[in-house]
Structure 1
Amino acid sequence: MSTCMNPTPATGPAPRLTSLSHGGGCGCKIAPGVLSSILQQSPLWPMPSELLVGIETSDDAAVYRLNDEQALIATTDFFMPIVDDPHDFGAIAATNAISDVYAMGGRPIMALALVGMPINTLPLETIGAILRGGQDACARAGIPVAGGHSIDSIEPIYGLAVMGIVHPQNIRRNREARPGDVLVLGKPLGVGVLSAALKKEKLDAPGYRRMIENATQLNTPGPLLAALPGVHAMTDVTGFGLFGHALEMCRGAGLSARIQAASVPLLDDVRELAAQGLITGASARNWASYGQDVDLRKPDPITQALFTDPQTSGGLLVSCAPGSVEAVLEIFRDEGFAHARVIGQMQEGPARVTLD
């Protein structure tokens, strides 16, 4: 791993990781409206015909055709600590980065580590534990951490660049949903709320375990789902919340989505915690960016907060033909995703999400 680290390493007890960052996990993402404005200022260059997926629809990863049987998936993701345990932080960040390959329908093959650490603040043992957490997540995915780059930074930052392989026919974009498709969500929502509770020391041990189990569960159903002809589109729900990523799917396909609030799975206790004001700032930023394209039939600030809640290493959102729903749910169940649920449907109409 190449490095730009030279300062004197820290000694003494390690500070809380979350105390060193202004935000954590996918809640660190630039708000979608701001990001869109930035990207609009970027020059558009001619794209090679081999580039099958680029930045045109905010998809989860880039995909480059190698030959008739293989395409390369390339993605990267990194963020600041969402938890204080260094191993858990590394494992969550790595799981989140690998997820983009699964969301495109691919199989990960290797990763590169992206490391920025305050060397004069964090003990080397803590930094080592972060990297081991990432390596352990990669080992569960069956891939090596083959290299990377590290710098000395003010806030701790960790993530991966991940490469994967997919058959060109099995690429699943976020833009290919069809009218009448059923929406299936693979993981429950609420990681952002639990992280807010943790930062304010109001999350109990069972809640912490639920958060870690959810955020470190690899989205392994991705390539299995992509092999089903009835699965038309996929994405993973991360920093922009369920509403934000559903809207990306709507905009890409030129369709509307209708979601049933009561059908969306939630992690235990998150509604109660959100009612106590334990909500991330990213939730409000998300709503400010895209709320004008969401129709809340029963306006409720808690429901709004939960559906804009930034999910770190969230679940797959699948758009599939009605006849494929049972096969999709069976794959989720077989891969250990007991909370996977049908949550709504795609339909003709403007690019909006309606919550019933």
Structure 2
Amino acid sequence: MSGILNSVTDMFVNGTGFSAISGPMIVMWLVSIVLMYLAIVKKYEPLLLLPIAIGALAVNIPSRGFYEGGWGIEGMFTPTAGLFYYISQGIHLELFPPIIFLGVGAMTDFGPLIANPRTLILGGGAQFGVFITMFCAVAFGGFTLGEAASIGIIGGADGPTSIFTANKLAPHLIGPIAVAAYTYMALVPLIQPPIMRAMTTAKERVIRMKSLRKVSKLERITFAVMVMVVCVLVVPDASALIIMLMTGNIFKEAGVVERLVKTAQNELMNIVTIFLGTSVGLTMSADIFLQPKTLMIIAMGVVAFGFSTFAGLLLAKIMNWCSPKNPVNPLIGSAGVSAVPMAARVSQVEGAKYDPQNFLLMHAMGPNVSGVIGTAICAGYMISRLA
């Protein structure tokens, strides 16, 4: 009788995943729960943070036929190729980030940037945080140049670009980098305002900018085509992101392919977002994520955002010193990080605290969308030099 009982017990234990559960896996379950809390309760980037949390939970549960490996009845980990193994190839084959950029382009209005071209400088200034963080990661964190470059892109507040760069230069760090990028994107309303208040005076915060002129359809389409051509020629390694971004925008501005625009903005964007988020989460296995480097990456993310915000604000102040007769409200300088349109909304909300009738949103969209282009160019440059 005892032999039968032992046989049944052995079959139950070895035939299920219970015997393969480890302490690090349980820690990752708690990490997943925290991410779910941030997404569901705090509503921090829920469209991507929630799929990431679910993917992180799934990859840390002993399974079979789900991802790249599974636990056999002998309790041994054996390689398999399950559903999400193939879906996650969208990251490794560099499909998901460019498709996300197609949707972003279809939802982006470059009109404010075209109407006030000098705000392009503010978007470029925010890339300062990318390079400062890269330097700090090498000098103080012991990261390689490729790893440091991937971490630095977090400062651009652009999740897809961070993933795209990490896949090229530090694929083993995709999980921590993506989580840091999207978490800090969600925390923009908390991170930026203290820096904005510290960097500006009460007089500067109430500066009212001139109304933007109306931008024609021809100007919008010409701008998208020119940016596509010039950026790809200058930084060929950013071509996948830039071409898809401008393709989506040309679809939007043309006004003759509404079905394609709606698909790019909604169905396609939503499907790829689900797969991208869960695929990123699946890179967060305990043996990879629970490393000292992960905590350093999260810390470097704060540095990246802080310096990007600081540089955008400082450049706006310098522009005012150089052109006092046509000042910009320095608060829009913080929108140079490419968290579209959240960073622009933060500029609007912060400005409205001091002058409720001052509408900065459309002015802030100029540096905001230029930050998207700038971060993609930075990523392409780093990939060309380090890959």
Higher relative contact order (CA 8 A, sep 6+): 2
For the pair shown, the structure with the greater C-alpha radius of gyration is: 2
TM-score (norm. length: structure 1): 0.26
The structure with more strand, counted as a fraction of residues? 1
The structure with more helix, counted as a fraction of residues? 2
